[in-house]
Chain A
Amino acid sequence: MSHGEAVEGEVSLGHVVRDGLWDSNVVLVQLLGMCPTMAVTSSATNGLGMGLATMAVLIVANAVIASLRHWVSPTVRIPIFIVLIAGMVTLVDLALNAWLHDLYKVLGIYIALIVANCAVLGRAEAFASRQPVLASAVDGAAMGFGFTLALTVMGGIREVFGSGTLFANAHLLLGSHFAFLEMKLLPESANTLFMILPPGGFLVLGFLIAGRRRLEAWRGSQNAALAVPHGAH
């Protein structure tokens, strides 16, 4: 993460993508957007839907804020970002309700939660307010995709143990072509209710964060071992 004023155009897009998906993953590293993360991940489909809606808002919000970055005074930037983000979330809300109503019935109550997702304001502040439009849009897409991945994996784990299914109701979100994703993995008697209640969310998130750090530590030790015989990588 850069500190202070990053110089425009300094970032490489590959680095931006890597950051969003893994190195600075919104959920697993930055621990932002915890409210929607805990609220919607009781199933993989809900996590996926929330992730995709957030990604759409992130891309557009980042691009709009980047295009306005020279006209926004640092003193009033926060209210301006919030007005823009809230406006965009309301647009998504209205458009989904009107034209994708079945999906809206699944996601409707969660859309408004995107405003409260500090990841969106966080990217506006840390990235889009200092970088060109294209890089900012890519950052929004990468951060959004990382968020979507984390939510879908979390939702999937909670759903399998809590409800015994995986991607239940996926056809409502993705259309009937994706009905094959819907699986019944465990009998009802094996369901652990705890997992789809709030404590299950904290538990799974904790394991995911720990697992990611463990993997990073292992990769670090591998790289160190390799670095000795082969020199700099």
Chain B
Amino acid sequence: MSIKSKLDEVWFQGASLGVVGLAVTAVLAVVYDLTKEAIAAAGERDTQQSLEQVLPQGFADNQLLKDTVKVTGPDGKPLTVYRARKQGAIKAALFEISGKGYAGPISLVMAIDTRGTVLGVRITHHTETPGLGDKIEVAKNRWILSFDGKSLDQPGPSHWAVKKDGGDFDQFAGATITPRGVVATVKTGLEYFAAHKPELLGEPLAMGASK
């Protein structure tokens, strides 16, 4: 009965709202703490998996996630570059960049070897139209593999476009903007690599040239 009489009082209403808010926040804080490590580990596994996809089997023998450099990416945002090594020597740089698709940003991870040749490209996130633009996923279509072995010199800068625009890469029936966006993004990645090669591969620089 005593509770019932308090229900109409403003102080009780405010206090009960406060108590519920505090209690929920406390529970969430505890669970956040409990799950923090497992979530971070799962995120690392995801990154590891997407990185392994773009490297040929047995290409690297190092722990990619442990061998990184932080640089400023082509879009001006911080970018983590992973380095693939074989017996200590750097063989390739891997990073994830985004470009514009038809329905939103398309993120992809790509691996480039020391000569600037694409080892592999995979889409990590996109919101393209199902059935049309989503053929950029390797699970749906082999198209994304057509980048393997290409570089800025081979086939040459002007060939880095879809066929409709006079380039070398196929577009899909009913979807030109999506592959055009992916081709442009991969090209951006290659150009960025070419311009920042010493930084990305960690080759010795003149002292003080980079931090």
- Hey, which bits of chain A sit against chain B, CB under 8 A? 42, 70-76, 79-80, 83-84, 86-87, 90-91, 94-95, 97-99, 101, 104-105, 162-163, 191, 193, 196-197
Contact = CB atoms under 8 A, between A and B. Distances in A.
A65 to B, nearest CB: 11
Interface string B26-49: 011001101100110010011000
Contacts of A163: 130-131
The A interface is mostly helix, strand or loop, or mixed, namely helix
A97 B39 contact: yes
A95 B20 contact: no
A90 to B, nearest CB: 6
Interface in B66-97: none
A80 B35 contact: no
A97 to B, nearest CB: 5
Contacts of A193: 129-132
Contacts of A196: 130-131
The 10 A-B pairs with the shortest beta carbon distances in the complex, nearest first, are A98-B38, A98-B35, A87-B24, A101-B42, A73-B7, A193-B131, A76-B13, A94-B35, A73-B13, A98-B39
Interface of B: 3-4, 7-8, 12-14, 16-17, 20-21, 24-25, 27-28, 31-32, 34-35, 38-39, 42, 45-46, 129-132
Given A90-B28, A94-B31, 7 more contacts: A73-B12, A73-B13, A80-B16, A95-B35, A101-B45, A196-B130, A197-B129
Contacts, number: 73
Nearest to B26: A87
Contacts of B129: 193, 197
Which among B12, B32, B39 has the highest number of chain A CB atoms within 10 Å? B39
A191 B24 contact: no
A163 B39 CA distance: 32
11 contacts: A73-B13, A73-B16, A76-B17, A83-B21, A84-B20, A91-B27, A97-B38, A98-B38, A101-B46, A163-B131, A197-B129
A72 B16 contact: yes
B36 to A, nearest CB: 8
A79 B4 CA distance: 19
A73 B3 CA distance: 10
A104 B35 CA distance: 14
Given A94-B31, A97-B42, A197 B20 contact: no
